[in-house]
A = this chain, B = another copy of it.
Amino acid sequence: MKELFGSPGKKSGLILRTGQCVFAAASIGVMTSASGFSTTTAFCYLIASMGLQVLWSFGLLCLDIHALRFNRDLHTNIIVSLFVVGDWVTSTLSLAAASSSAGVMVLFTRDTNICMVDTNLSCDLFQISIAFAFASWFLLAISSYVMFWLVASI
């Protein structure tokens, strides 16, 4: 099996997983600290989806640390196939969640004046949270491509 940037059990893979975890956790943190998020389903879905991504990325982060510490090889068919399915599911859900929240945010700020009228909504925090979610999705997408490439080139 090829050795690629971001593949499991490598330092680049560890950096990617850490980035995914940090951005997803930041997205949840900022969104939950914003007032009025619970009135919009898309924002609640963003939190749920980012929560799943934190769990998934943190799990793989621990596996990477274990592999690096004890010099284990994670490039077996079963492990990489499992990673590829999980990565694709979480990345699709994350993109869907970030996009739906972004769609709602554009409606709030550009199509209507809800953000200006309803001062109870922390629109700036919503936008920061969505930006973090997109950053997290982007890093996860890179991981997914690498995993898919690894499993396809077996």
Bound-complex Cα distance A95 to B111 (A): 21
- Residues 68-108 of A, flagged 1 when their CB comes within 8 A of B and 0 if not, give 00000000000000000000000010011101111110110
The copy count of this chain in the complex is 2
Known contacts A92-B95, A95-B92, A95-B96: does B42 contact A103 (CB below 8 Å)? yes
* Cβ A41 vs Cβ B100 within 8 A: no
Majority secondary structure of chain A interface residues (helix, strand, loop or mixed): helix
Give 28 CB contacts A-B under 8 Å. Answer: A40-B111, A41-B106, A41-B107, A41-B111, A42-B103, A42-B106, A42-B107, A45-B103, A92-B95, A95-B99, A96-B99, A99-B99, A99-B100, A99-B103, A100-B100, A100-B102, A100-B104, A100-B106, A101-B103, A102-B103, A103-B103, A104-B104, A104-B107, A148-B152, A149-B152, A152-B152, A152-B153, A153-B153
User: Which of chain B's residues have a CB closer than 8 A to the CB of A100?
Assistant: 99-100, 102-104, 106
Closest to A97 in B: B99
Query: How many A residues face the partner with a CB closer than 8 A?
Result: 23
